Structure 1
Amino acid sequence: MPLQPARLMPTLALLKRFVVLPLVIATVFSLIGSSWLCSHATAQDQSNSVVAVVNAEPITRKALSDASLMRYGVDVLDNMINRHLILQACQKNGIEVTNDEVRGEIERLAAKFGLNVQSYMQLLEEERDITPAQYSREIVWPMLALRKLVAGQVEPTQAEFNQAYLSQFGEAVKCRVIVVPNKDTAESLRAQAAANPDEFSGLAKKYSKDEATASVGGLMAPIRRHTGDPALENAVFELQDKEVSPVITMGDQFLVLQAVRRIPASTPPPTALPAIKEQIKDRIRDQKMRGAASRLFAQLQKDAKVTKVLGDEKLQAQYPGVAAVINGQQVTLSAVGAECVKRHGVDVLQGEINRKLLTQAMRKSNIKVTREDITAEISRAAKSMGIVNGDGSADLVSWMQNVTSDGNTTAEIYETDSVWPSVALKKLVEDEITISKDDLQRGYESSYGPRVEILACVLADQRTAQKVWEMARDNPTEEFFGQLAEQYSIEPVSSSNRGKVPPVRKFGGQPAIEREVFGLNAGDLSGIVATGDKYIVMRCQGRTEPVVKDMAAVQSELVRDLREKKLSLAMAEKFDSLKARAEIDNFLEAAKNLQPEATPRVAQAGDSRQQRK
């Protein structure tokens, strides 16, 4: 790997700050590109192209688009509306952002962090999960467009530059501080400090509630002009060395400060001054741009005439094939679907491939999933989570409210992505599930049978285990074993509880331990049991009584639980088998892996000419 992120940690924090700097841009404009402005005809031309083949059956781009649209259409449309608004603003003002400008900005930003473009893009992809193409069109293009739209509002004034320069190079005051939540306490401490300034450090250590400064006698970073609260800065700069300030209110905290010493203003070397001035101006522009961008978007949204069609059945009948109308311009469903595929297609396609595998297996076995099957599975899920009515039946209304409470999962998505696959797999394997007498006996012993109570000492290596075992054998008392566990066990529960651990049951998934302890009597010491990379020494304390002595009393419950467990295992094995035997060609995934690293063409204001035509 040509670039190791660990070597770039000093710049990584700044890089992350920059990537999220245009907050409105990065969150609202997830993509500005010609693809979502392309004509409906272009989308139709691609609708029958194949994105995957599963056992010789194709999945078309249209099918993938519809599946992606169902899952992500509403969110993507909201973003597209906002993107469309800014593009319309660019068109209205004759603003164009060229590919050369995008490339130039990326080069400038890479150089700002001391990286070449390739290394910069690789770092973004590894640390921020942003591909070069996404970065170009989702962040850089909108940032440049906004910069041009609000250009008259973001240039630094001389007064702003002077303030920023003073905040970086001007005079500073080194201070100590006491922070308390009560004004009377602050006044009392202030009086003590004013009477004896040399005791300020001790008072801060003893009484200040700000742990970061209290531990160093109240010392804090030097305070400069124009960096924070003006009232605090004014109060500090009025103090002489060792002088104590009046009580200063900051939110719900009360501060008392003491000036330690003045730090004179610094003067950068003349050769560095041009670069420093440009850095300061860039910082002011970035700060002003965020505010100007927010105000611009608020105004664009306020003035816009937007009709959201997607998700509204009446409007969909009125505007067939349209997702939204924005200031008279239509955004087609096919365009939103294409955007959804671009952003989520790889993940959605994997789900469609899995669904195709299940559909093929069901067709081969002549099995169908009915509406009654779907409802029964939803009821089962609700009951398993304890969401029931007073009569014990499933409370389907509450369950569906719970399932869809995240705001992203609809009832249709839940049934398609969770319920239908579960029912399909269950129907494929349910005839193979049998419960034998041996299954019942093992299930009974595991859930209701006697358990062995033990003390355990878990060791990391065999040599230490041998040493502990010999000491436990030579002093065979429960008290001494508890001391050994407390001293040597590397497992927190047994160490803190002097060896006491939960009782061991049969068929609980620890066969080596179970075989050993069920052969012990009270007071017996086990051998050294190796399990994984650990070594365990145990002392038997005895056995518990069976929870239920008559297996017939719980047989129906056992059958139900065992069937559920066997069914779950069989379903997982069946699906793994279907995937292992399948012949799958995933062209979308292959295309993603073969994408070139070069910065892609991004949309310009002129790209909308085709749609306007």
Structure 2
Amino acid sequence: MTQSDRFSLESAHSPLRSRVRQSLVLVAAVAAISIGFLQMRVNAAESSVVAVVNADPISRDALGKAALQRYGSDVLDNLINRHLILQECKRRGITVTSEEVRGEIIRVAKKFGLAVDAYLQLLQEERNITPDQYSNEIIWPMLALRRLVADRVEVSQEEFNRAFLSQFGEAVKCRMIMIGDQTKANQVHAQAMADPKSFVRLAKEHSEDETSASVGGLIPPIRRYMGDSRLEETAFSLADGDVSPVIQIGDQWIFLQAVRRMPASHPSPQALPAINEQIKDRIRDEKMKDAAAELFTQLQKQANVVTILGNAEAEKSHPGVAAVINGQQISIGTVAAECIKRHGEAVLEGEINRKLLHQALRQANKTVTQADIDAEIARAAISYGYVRSNGQADTDAWMEAVLSQGDVSRELYIEDSVWPSVALKLLVEDGITVSQKDLEQGFASAFGPRAEVLAVVLSDQRTAQKVWELARDNPTDAFFGQLAEQYSIEPTSSSNFGKVPPIRQFGGQASIEKEAFSMKPGELSGIIATGDKYIILRCQGFTEPVVDDMSVVRDELERDLREKKLNIAMGLKFDQLKETAEIDNFFTVANSAARVATRPAAR
């Protein structure tokens, strides 16, 4: 190829190269913008604004205050406990490193046969514990307590021998009968003593331990040093086939029958060192847990802890302080930050929803009044049966019941439950009407006749066609019931030979109701396709109406229908507010940027 040819070829490709370069530059620019935008959102979560709802910001301070109201007490208790452990570690010169924490997490994950990331993800999904929370609030305190009590934990030869015998020593295979009443236990025991061969039957008929009763009283082999020494001594005192005396264990009366002796097992010499080490580790862990619990109780008793958060008088004299532990202060800001770390996403979701409702009320020129709040509390009390003898709501008893269910104050109950309900009602109540047609349909549904039918529910059309033809060719209730027992995939109709609860009108199953109320007694329906099921009905007749005159129940009916329509409208309104809102949640974005913690926070 000549120099001229090469030059011509390069010239021909130059536009393509230029476009490629431009594309690469564009991709890099887009990536930089995306990364920069993400970083801006992450930075926003660390700054004063955690979310913006329709251009209205929610500050980190507001989120902290809301989280503190709801979780401050629990979080402070945890912080106090960790501070007690940390103070004792500092006093003794003990340090738990991040590498030790990470190593313990790896060890625990391996014990469950999981990779570390998978284990941490499982904790977050199943128990709502973040990796950072797991490291700092569970693993670090546990390791610190272990280090603090390490000098108290030694495994003696006697402890090792007992543990070895409980795992590999001689055992007795037994049957057991457990009965809660002593008189009955003695009566059944007398029958077993008179005829030991009847023990299996007696266990099945009388034992109140369902697991062993189902297999004739058989229980796992009993070894020495496994649990209750009386049970073990009783088992080892029996010859094969013997029945023991009745003994009391807790609030139960039990007696045993020995089946056979099982000789001790002998691990191979190659496996013995590893087994010995496992046994020692298990004993050491158990003793360490007991010693750590004892030490922690001791630290709590000896500590001088002054809790200020939640005490109005103490808060005045100690502004900004949540607690004082042995002279060391924990600030309210620290507790609020910890509350945000643990519960920030959930609390922020509530704050966003509350802001949406405030905005909607402002736009509709409506306000939630104290009278509205009181009326809603009274309505809730009546709906849950808290009514005085004069028919009025017993709001005092209702509030007492609500507040006894957990660490919720009256103010939080109103703010989180009552106020949002009232706000939504104010937003939709003007559009709620109960028409004459609504009343007529509601009356028919609540008080009108029901269609009594037999039903077969099938999962595919071919089987439905086959069953329908069989039912048509043999038109009797008995044969239809046999078809239901054989073919129906719906448990109620299958187990009751087709009998199902009576069908009411306007109950929400239009196609089934239309067919049921168009039949006469003894008639067979067509095949009704609904969702992924195919239903065949056989009419047995109709019930008598509960009430004939709608005027008797009109007020009650109108109230119930209005309530139902109101609840539906409230749900739809809230969904609409969320769907049409412009919401930037910086906090959630920042939290999702880095989920897995590999070390605890600096101490």
Task: Give the TM-score taking structure 1 as reference length.
Answer: 0.81
Specify whether residues 525 and 51 from structure 1 end up closer, same or farther in structure 2 by C-alpha distance, changes over 3 A only. Answer: same
Matches within 5 A, 1:148-167: 148-167=147-166
One-letter amino acid of the structure 2 residue matched with residue 59 of structure 1: I
Secondary structure at 1:398 match in 2: helix
- 1:429·1:567 contact (CA, 8 Å) conserved in 2? yes
- Cα deviations across residues 97-155 of structure 1 (Å, max 9, x unaligned)? 11122223334444555655445444544555543323222222111100111112122
Specify whether residues 174 and 584 from structure 1 end up closer, same or farther in structure 2 by C-alpha distance, changes over 3 A only. Answer: same
Deviation at 1:72, TM superposition (A): 1.3
- Cα deviations across residues 310-360 of structure 1 (Å, max 9, x unaligned)? 222222222222222222222222221111111111111101110011111
One-letter amino acid of the structure 2 residue matched with residue 255 of structure 1: F
Which residue of 1 is the match for residue 346 of structure 2?
Answer: 347
**Structure 1: distance between partners of 2:67 and 2:153:** 39
Q: Percent identity?
A: 57
- 2:173·2:262 contact (CA, 8 Å) conserved in 1? no
**Structure 2: distance between partners of 1:254 and 1:522:** 58
**Structure 1: distance between partners of 2:216 and 2:471:** 52
**Structure 1: distance between partners of 2:224 and 2:466:** 67
Which residue of 2 is the match for residue 31 of structure 1?
Answer: none
Larger deviation, residues 490-499 vs 242-251: 242-251
**Structure 2: distance between partners of 1:211 and 1:515:** 47
Give the counterpart of 2:173 among 172, 175, 186: 175
- Cα deviations across residues 10-40 of structure 1 (Å, max 9, x unaligned)? xxxxxxxxxxxxxxxxxxxxxxxxxxxxxxx
**Structure 1: distance between partners of 2:482 and 2:115:** 61
Specify whether residues 103 and 446 from structure 1 end up closer, same or farther in structure 2 by C-alpha distance, changes over 3 A only. Answer: closer
Which residue of 2 is the match for residue 63 of structure 1?
Answer: 62
Larger deviation, residues 469-478 vs 209-218: 209-218
Which residue of 2 is the match for residue 35 of structure 1?
Answer: none
Larger deviation, residues 55-64 vs 257-266: 257-266
Which residue of 1 is the match for residue 488 of structure 2?
Answer: 489
Which residue of 2 is the match for residue 10 of structure 1?
Answer: none
Matches within 5 A, 1:536-547: 536-547=535-546
**Structure 2: distance between partners of 1:303 and 1:516:** 76
Specify whether residues 47 and 391 from structure 1 end up closer, same or farther in structure 2 by C-alpha distance, changes over 3 A only. Answer: farther
Deviation at 1:63, TM superposition (A): 0.7
- 2:175·2:259 contact (CA, 8 Å) conserved in 1? no
Deviation at 1:465, TM superposition (A): 2.5
Larger deviation, residues 593-602 vs 279-288: 593-602
One-letter amino acid of the structure 1 residue matched with residue 162 of structure 2: Q
Larger deviation, residues 203-212 vs 556-565: 203-212
Specify whether residues 221 and 567 from structure 1 end up closer, same or farther in structure 2 by C-alpha distance, changes over 3 A only. Answer: closer
**Structure 2: distance between partners of 1:117 and 1:87:** 26
Which residue of 2 is the match for residue 504 of structure 1?
Answer: 503
- Cα deviations across residues 547-601 of structure 1 (Å, max 9, x unaligned)? 4444444333333222212211111111111111111111221122211535033
Secondary structure at 1:539 match in 2: strand
Matches within 5 A, 1:513-528: 513-528=512-527
- 1:322·1:331 contact (CA, 8 Å) conserved in 2? yes
**Structure 2: distance between partners of 1:378 and 1:218:** 54
- 1:49·1:61 contact (CA, 8 Å) conserved in 2? yes
Which residue of 2 is the match for residue 362 of structure 1?
Answer: 361
Deviation at 1:522, TM superposition (A): 3.5
Deviation at 1:46, TM superposition (A): 9.2
**Structure 1: distance between partners of 2:110 and 2:538:** 66
- 1:172·1:265 contact (CA, 8 Å) conserved in 2? yes
**Structure 1: distance between partners of 2:224 and 2:68:** 52
**Structure 2: distance between partners of 1:336 and 1:546:** 62
Specify whether residues 115 and 413 from structure 1 end up closer, same or farther in structure 2 by C-alpha distance, changes over 3 A only. Answer: closer
Deviation at 1:544, TM superposition (A): 4.1
Specify whether residues 155 and 119 from structure 1 end up closer, same or farther in structure 2 by C-alpha distance, changes over 3 A only. Answer: farther
One-letter amino acid of the structure 1 residue matched with residue 245 of structure 2: V
Which residue of 2 is the match for residue 464 of structure 1?
Answer: 463
Matches within 5 A, 1:109-508: 109-111=108-110, 116-125=115-124, 129-169=128-168, 171-179=169-177, 181=179, 184=186, 188=190, 202-208=197-203, 209=207, 220-234=219-233, 242=240, 244=242, 247=245, 249-251=247-249, 252-258=252-258, 260-261=260-261, 263-264=263-264, 266-269=266-269, 271-508=270-507
- 2:109·2:119 contact (CA, 8 Å) conserved in 1? yes
Deviation at 1:203, TM superposition (A): 4.3
Larger deviation, residues 516-525 vs 370-379: 516-525
- 1:205·1:217 contact (CA, 8 Å) conserved in 2? yes
**Structure 2: distance between partners of 1:46 and 1:552:** 60
**Structure 1: distance between partners of 2:552 and 2:222:** 76
Deviation at 1:410, TM superposition (A): 1.8
- 1:322·1:333 contact (CA, 8 Å) conserved in 2? yes
Deviation at 1:517, TM superposition (A): 2.6
Deviation at 1:419, TM superposition (A): 0.8
Where structure 2 has 5 or more consecutive residues not aligned to the other structure, the ranges are 1-43
Where structure 1 has 5 or more consecutive residues not aligned to the other structure, the ranges are 1-44, 194-199, 608-613
- 1:180·1:186 contact (CA, 8 Å) conserved in 2? no
Deviation at 1:184, TM superposition (A): 4.8
Task: Give the TM-score taking structure 2 as reference length.
Answer: 0.82
Specify whether residues 187 and 444 from structure 1 end up closer, same or farther in structure 2 by C-alpha distance, changes over 3 A only. Answer: closer
One-letter amino acid of the structure 2 residue matched with residue 204 of structure 1: F
**How many residues get paired?**
550
Which residue of 2 is the match for residue 577 of structure 1?
Answer: 576
Secondary structure at 2:434 match in 1: coil
Specify whether residues 121 and 224 from structure 1 end up closer, same or farther in structure 2 by C-alpha distance, changes over 3 A only. Answer: same
Which residue of 2 is the match for residue 532 of structure 1?
Answer: 531
- Cα deviations across residues 198-249 of structure 1 (Å, max 9, x unaligned)? xx6x34323343665667676654444332333444555566x748586373
Which residue of 2 is the match for residue 21 of structure 1?
Answer: none
Deviation at 1:65, TM superposition (A): 1.0
One-letter amino acid of the structure 2 residue matched with residue 396 of structure 1: T
- 1:141·1:602 contact (CA, 8 Å) conserved in 2? no
Which residue of 2 is the match for residue 75 of structure 1?
Answer: 74
**Structure 2: distance between partners of 1:46 and 1:458:** 54
One-letter amino acid of the structure 2 residue matched with residue 93 of structure 1: R
Deviation at 1:469, TM superposition (A): 2.6
- 1:520·1:540 contact (CA, 8 Å) conserved in 2? yes
- Cα deviations across residues 492-532 of structure 1 (Å, max 9, x unaligned)? 33344443433333222111122223323333332221112
Secondary structure at 2:306 match in 1: strand
Specify whether residues 261 and 145 from structure 1 end up closer, same or farther in structure 2 by C-alpha distance, changes over 3 A only. Answer: same
**Structure 2: distance between partners of 1:245 and 1:453:** 56
